[in-house]
Structure 1
Amino acid sequence: MKRIIYSLVAFCILGGSAFAQIVNSNHGKRFEQLERMLRDPSMYRSASGAPGPKYWQQRADYKIEATLNDENQRLDGYETITYFNNSPDPLTYLWLALDENVRHPDNDSYKFDESSIRPRMTYDQIDALDGHDNDWGFHITEVTDAKGSQLPYTINQTMMRIDLPQVLKPGEKISFNIRWWYNTTPRNESGARGGHEYFPEDGNYIYTITGWFPRMAVYSDFQGWNNKQFTGRGEFALTFGNYDVKMTVPSDHIVGSTGWLQNPKEVLNAEQQKRWAQAQKTFDEPVKIVTLEEAKANEKEKASGTKTWHYKAENVRDFAWTSSRKFVWDAMAVDIEGSEKHPMAMSYYAKEAYGIYERYSTKVVAHTLKTYSKYTIPYPYPVAISVEASNGMEYPMICFNYGRTLPDGTYSESTKWGAIGVIIHEVGHNFFPMIVNSDERQWTWMDEGLNTFVQYLTEQEFDNNYPHRRGPAYKIAPYMALPKDQLEPIMTNSENIIGFGNNAYAKAATGLNILRETIMGRELFDFAFKQYAQRWAFKHPTPDDLFRTLEDASAVDIDWFIRGWYFTIDHVDIAIENVRWYKLDTKNPEIEYPIAAAEDALENTDIADSRNREEGMKFLVEEDPKLQDFYHTYDEFEVTEEAKRAYQRFTASLSAEERALLGDNKNFYEIEFTNKGGLVMPLIIEWTYVDGTKEVERIPAYIWRKNEEHITKAFMKDKEVVQIRLDPYRETADTDEDNNYFPRVSKPSRFELFRWGGGGARGQSTGSNPMQRANGGN
């Protein structure tokens, strides 16, 4: 279409308000490139986001023997660590993590959080003001070299430094031994990730053995030693290696573990061995290796003696296990697309969780492996385990989840969905950070946010009606609208986050979902995200590597989005400030004059004149005709022959395209948009036309690049518009959706009469239980 200047007549102004004058610069803040905020590329990490040609990482292999004492809940261990210095740096000391020391009475983690006196306090809350005097934490009894000579070491709370007798040069390795023991903590009392849970009904324990041995801290090209103290919040930064582990436990205990069981003939009876072999060939339904009846019998009989379970694992960053005589154990093989391996999906659960876990757990594990493999890399490990332990925590190949039934076997829907969600999430952690091994101690969102994002994709493929907690953009909007003193950027150290779940999990995951659905598109994002997973599988990525890879593999400039969403506490609030409706002046007097007459009459309406006529007032100009002149009868809007001839001359001067445009009766809309929240976003506009049809139009976020606070955009439409709405699919996390409409709409809110009914039991969620009512319960 030719660019022609027409005189436009404002046909109707739908409304508007004055926009405040901008005093400071209104551009150049949000669209600058990120490079100055990222680490400089190097031979170790390239500018593309991939590992560089000289990338390196350390390795640590472990041989461990441990004994679990079920009488006093104590764990004794002896380990040999072989540490490989693959760095270009000579090392004079080594740092190891002693995470169990976070529960030591003298640890700083008990002291650096605020506390206050409340009007009503429990004994435990009062007692916590004085810390505790339990004997929790590691007892290191011996550190020796390969020849048995003592090695000097220093313990600083949750970190232990071993001073080497001679420099460990690049390319060299060293082996040393540590003997230790600790008392496992009651998890419900200590709040620890690992420990034990006691069941007074049958006098048994479920042990979740995590963070249970001194293990190597990461030494990296971008940080050196990661010896930041463990405070219970920021999790783990660990080194890959191979594990050979033997666990001696009561003879009737069932052990689930990282790695592959090496001695099934020694720890399983003949029937269980057959079931185990059958499970490895079964892909449709889980096979019960230990049945509910056998688990109940174990609970009651409590056999004497011990057994030693032997597991091996290759190329893992950690090792965890569980032990109990209460366990049912089921398993099935999983067919992973693009892989010749068939990993085992397995679950361990007590009778208290049977009604949920027997139906869902192992199948959810298998579904998670398949879905995550599709979006990242084929699952490389031989097993993936879900353990019901009334919590949620992840380790390589094994995770601990929640989801118990009531004594009558029923459960609320919230407990069911909560159990399925936590299983997907914790099993998903096998990929982030167990394989794509980011630094959890520094960047919680690098594993929790990425994992929550793929969890959302996995939930979508599980059930189209899945009640997602995190992922959809609109769900994070209330958090982002909080007062600024309650917020911090995603790029904040794990220890310093206030809204931990919303910030590190939900907001980080939602950012990726917005990139996928709204900014980059699924095809480009999925390719780039998979590139990141493939590049950094079994390596140590940083946020820089993620950001650079997403751009490098997609050719989409997302610096503006990363800068705003991950580095600031701005929120999204884009408002339709004003809308003007225009029609083309056709110059046709037969069309334009009646319109002009109607507008003139509307503009010059006078209530007094109207009432005077209604009351029959006598006007002098009508009673005395001599007062009437030419203008008394002149009609400026009369369609004269001269006006018609002028229109004919005008149309004759136009091209065919121009004459067609005049006859199309187009509608022109000029919209003013205001960025009230600070975060720029694409403009997603839904037009509703007078005939009831709708159209959605998308304008890239780059429209804000020259004015980040206020923009105007004009549109031409064939049909008359009756409503304009921004973000109709709620995909940008807009915090004030009321100003997304023009004209404004009023929507009713609902509230309910509520009576507090108390909390749920361990391993359950609160909420109604229609299943119980259907069975005749309360």
Structure 2
Amino acid sequence: MKKVLAFIFLLVASIAYTQAQFLQHNPNANHGNKFEQLETILRSPNMYRSASGAPGPKYWQQKADYDIDVEIDDTKQILKGSETVVYTNNSPDPLTYLWLQLDENEHKADGENQKFDGSKMSEKMTYNQLKRINGVEDGYGVNILKVTDAGGKNLKYTINHTMMRIDLPSTLNPGGKYTFKVSWNYKIPNRMVQGGRGGLEYFEEDDNYLYTIAQWFPRMAVYSDFQGWQNKQFTGRGEFALAFGDYKVNITVPADHVVGATGECQNYAQVLNSTQLNRWKQAQTAKEPIEIVTLNDAKNAMKKKSSAKKTWVYKATNVRDFAFVTSRRLVWDAMKVNVEGNSPMAMSYYGPEAYPLYRKYSTKVIAKTLEVYSKHTIPYPYPVAISVEAANGMEYPMICFNYGRAEKDGTYSEATKYGMIGVIIHEVGHNFFPMIVNSDERQWSWMDEGLNTFCQYLTEQEWDNNYPSKRGPAHLIADYMRLPKNELEPIMTNSENIINFGPNAYGKPATALNILRETVMGRELFDYAFKEYAKRWAFKHPTPADFFRTMEDASAVDLDWFWRGWFYGTDAVDISLDAVKYYRMDTKNPEIEAAYDRKLYDEEGYSISRKRNREANINFAVEADTSLNDFYNKWDRFAATKDKKAQFKNYYDALSPEEKALYDSKTNFYELEFSNKGGLVMPIIIEWTYTDGTKEVDYIPAYIWRKNEEKVTKVFAKTKEMASVKLDPYKETADIDESNNTFPRQLAPTRFELFKQQKAPARGASTGVNPMQRARQ
């Protein structure tokens, strides 16, 4: 009975704690909620993760080393593999089983991810929509052939969709190592049709394949101090969490294929011909990319098609994954770059259709990406960085798959050019987040996508000051943040449950970080703290709490209100300037005040009847009969008399020096009233335009809202007279309604177009040539 009572107590306490995490501290008041500290939400610090956001004195992580043989059957499109895994248990926990990821099982016909999305009929249905309703093609997914220990003895294993548990014959104690072997194969899916991270693309015009092989081998899941095994199923969205380790991979492919992969090739002398090997050596010192495999080489290989085989040998140290590309239709260029003392090779692989874009840009974009990211995080530590054109966008250590193909005539649109540069920056940038700073993509997509998109924005802006960045500038997230609340979810939402994945996991966190850097913290404090986070957690497994705490710890800026609003909530920024009141000091100087008093007297005595009587030429009595006028009809009540001047002199002479300085400043006082209509507290940025045409900007910290989160009033002293006031003049805060940001109110015109009705083109049909083609014509 005591055990039952104890269990009930723990259950109730757990429920109460969970509910307390999300309760408002002061729910019935207009303050005390948005600025409450995050300690009731964040995981408690411990010996593994300190309160400062740094790894604790007893931090640990597991290690998984792989020795893999893999072969691509280019005739049957089958991958065959065998691996030996050495798993090191650095945790304090004894382990009785191990979990591995079988991500390729996402393509199995009976997979969970084939069933759990809703579907409906419409008047027009695509082939792929009907195919999914009918059920996907069978025959895909991983076939596990054998699982044994190091001596070849069979091990018991269980497959649960995309996860495989290996039951250990004896407990793997802390500090111990365990070696096991797995053999497998699978039919390589056409990722252009079936989707997925890795697979093949078929080029009908030359009857060749491009293989981008990713998430292809049974990989150790992460076992960590904060969640134990990360064995959440892979459904195609949330990417992965993996342990670091060392890799040796032997890749057997047709002899005329070109291979690019994670790590460094150990046998270029055996797999390249002498001309290509000499080009490779030239690339080590070249300042421009050198084509190691030229366009002519690729076109010749596409026609001849060797039936022989070659094995490319790669090694990679301290990486969390391994991917490769192989095809006979690849151009390969490379050059060495200097990155803060390191000299990695920047390399690109691409087909003939991508040559006009990739030959000009890809490798140089890699170099710029490594430069900018290294400046803001840590110096790029790996020996290579690779961009592969594969009509894709996905990342792995040292290699990524991107898009960017020209038209048949070699031209391309501006959107294609900048889209390609952006995706290369983004995917190469993933080397830093999460390949080095190894966050859990399965759980918190924003920790890699959001941080990486932010650094992508920094890189794009250093590439070209006029770069048309789509994510990062604050005003570009406003459309998303003004959506109805039932269409939004906090950034701190598991990737599987996000509706608007792009804005939530990429755009909003990137924007939040840019606002932190430019508006809340300032560049110097932000850059130092952000770099500190990267240094602390390079080659480790950080959580959101580690990021939040490090940013505060290294900057001395309390940001709990910011994390709470931007990452844990769905409120929007909408600060309204509701009223402006003007106050001026009564100078008591009769020579100064006369004009003001006279104007005020005239305004107070004004009436519409008085105005219209004058206009009607009424015969006023005092004008018709001047005998009615006396002293007061001629008296100037505002005249600066000797008495008034004497009184003013006595007043002024009695002022202290400090009071005279304030008096002489001729200060204008403006009282501004603000309301927080969006709910998200933010700094108030005010641009003053004065009657002389000059401007001035005041930055008021977000803490102005701490005592009233709904309305605030603040008085400003200005030596110049105001003509107008505008909030957020540089669009820094993602304000969703700029119509209430000005005083006096300013109308923003919306343009409309007069056009002649025309028949709409068929969906997907071209609507004209791109500007490059037009220029040629």
With the length of structure 1 as denominator, give the TM-score of the two structures. 0.93
1:512 maps to a residue whose letter is: L
Q: 2:337 aligns with which of 334, 337, 347?
A: 334
Matches within 5 A, 1:630-649: 636-649=637-650
- Residue 535 of structure 2 aligns to a residue whose secondary structure is helix
Separation (CA, whole Å) in 1 of partners of 2:309 and 2:106: 30
Separation (CA, whole Å) in 2 of partners of 1:671 and 1:645: 37
1:54 maps to a residue whose letter is: K
Q: CA deviation at 1:328?
A: 0.4
Partner of 2:440: 439
Q: 1:302 aligns with which of 298, 302, 305?
A: 305
Separation (CA, whole Å) in 1 of partners of 2:768 and 2:527: 36
Mapped pair 1:387 → 2:391: no
Structure 1 516/403 Cα, relative in aligned 2: closer, same or farther at 3 Å? same
Q: 1:267 aligns with which of 263, 271, 275?
A: 271
Structure 1 363/24 Cα, relative in aligned 2: closer, same or farther at 3 Å? same
Q: CA deviation at 1:691?
A: 1.2
Matches within 5 A, 1:214-363: 214-282=218-286, 284-337=287-340, 339=341, 341-363=342-364
Q: 233-242 vs 650-659, which deviates more?
A: 650-659
2:76 maps to a residue whose letter is: N
Is the Cα–Cα contact under 8 Å of residues 580 and 670 in structure 1 kept in the other structure?
yes
Instruction: Kindly provide the CA deviation profile for residues 649-702 of structure 1, in whole angstroms up to 9, marking residues without a partner as x.
Output: 222221233234334332111111111111111121111111111111112111
Q: CA deviation at 1:638?
A: 4.2
Mapped pair 1:592 → 2:596: no
Is the Cα–Cα contact under 8 Å of residues 415 and 766 in structure 1 kept in the other structure?
no
Q: 1:73 aligns with which of 77, 85, 89?
A: 77
Matches within 5 A, 1:443-522: 443-522=444-523
Q: 82-91 vs 699-708, which deviates more?
A: 699-708
Structure 1 480/170 Cα, relative in aligned 2: closer, same or farther at 3 Å? same
Separation (CA, whole Å) in 2 of partners of 1:689 and 1:593: 24
Q: CA deviation at 1:755?
A: 8.2
Q: CA deviation at 1:610?
A: 2.3
Partner of 1:56: 60
1:248 maps to a residue whose letter is: T
1:101 maps to a residue whose letter is: N
CA RMSD after TM alignment: 2.0
Partner of 2:174: 170
Matches within 5 A, 1:377-776: 377-619=378-620, 636-751=637-752, 769-776=770-777
Which residues of structure 2 form unaligned runs of 5+?
Answer: 1-25
Q: CA deviation at 1:597?
A: 2.0
Separation (CA, whole Å) in 1 of partners of 2:762 and 2:453: 29
Is the Cα–Cα contact under 8 Å of residues 759 and 766 in structure 1 kept in the other structure?
no
- Residue 603 of structure 2 aligns to a residue whose secondary structure is helix
Partner of 1:93: 97
1:722 maps to a residue whose letter is: A
Q: 1:38 aligns with which of 35, 42, 53?
A: 42
Q: CA deviation at 1:748?
A: 1.8
Instruction: Kindly provide the CA deviation profile for residues 576-597 of structure 1, in whole angstroms up to 9, marking residues without a partner as x.
Output: 1100111110112222233122
Separation (CA, whole Å) in 2 of partners of 1:24 and 1:418: 48
Structure 1 176/223 Cα, relative in aligned 2: closer, same or farther at 3 Å? same
Q: CA deviation at 1:598?
A: 1.1
Is the Cα–Cα contact under 8 Å of residues 518 and 731 in structure 1 kept in the other structure?
yes
1:336 maps to a residue whose letter is: V
Instruction: Kindly provide the CA deviation profile for residues 470-495 of structure 1, in whole angstroms up to 9, marking residues without a partner as x.
Output: 11111111111111111111000011
Mapped pair 1:124 → 2:125: no
Partner of 2:365: 364
- Residue 368 of structure 1 aligns to a residue whose secondary structure is helix
Separation (CA, whole Å) in 2 of partners of 1:536 and 1:621: 90
- Residue 602 of structure 1 aligns to a residue whose secondary structure is helix
Instruction: Kindly provide the CA deviation profile for residues 687-734 of structure 1, in whole angstroms up to 9, marking residues without a partner as x.
Output: 111111111111211111111111111111111111111111111111
Instruction: Kindly provide the CA deviation profile for residues 505-546 of structure 1, in whole angstroms up to 9, marking residues without a partner as x.
Output: 011111111111111111111111111101100000000000
Partner of 2:21: none
Instruction: Kindly provide the CA deviation profile for residues 555-590 of structure 1, in whole angstroms up to 9, marking residues without a partner as x.
Output: 111111111111100111111110011111011222
Is the Cα–Cα contact under 8 Å of residues 412 and 767 in structure 1 kept in the other structure?
no
With the length of structure 2 as denominator, give the TM-score of the two structures. 0.94
Partner of 2:188: 184
Structure 1 716/152 Cα, relative in aligned 2: closer, same or farther at 3 Å? same
Q: Percent identity?
A: 64
Q: CA deviation at 1:396?
A: 0.4
Q: 1:140 aligns with which of 139, 144, 168?
A: 144
Separation (CA, whole Å) in 1 of partners of 2:550 and 2:295: 48
Q: CA deviation at 1:66?
A: 0.9
Q: CA deviation at 1:615?
A: 2.5
Structure 1 597/23 Cα, relative in aligned 2: closer, same or farther at 3 Å? farther
- Residue 440 of structure 1 aligns to a residue whose secondary structure is coil
Separation (CA, whole Å) in 2 of partners of 1:470 and 1:678: 23
Separation (CA, whole Å) in 1 of partners of 2:344 and 2:445: 28
Alignment: residue pair count: 749
Higher relative contact order (CA 8 A, sep 6+): 1
Is the Cα–Cα contact under 8 Å of residues 413 and 768 in structure 1 kept in the other structure?
no
Separation (CA, whole Å) in 1 of partners of 2:694 and 2:683: 23
Structure 1 756/62 Cα, relative in aligned 2: closer, same or farther at 3 Å? farther
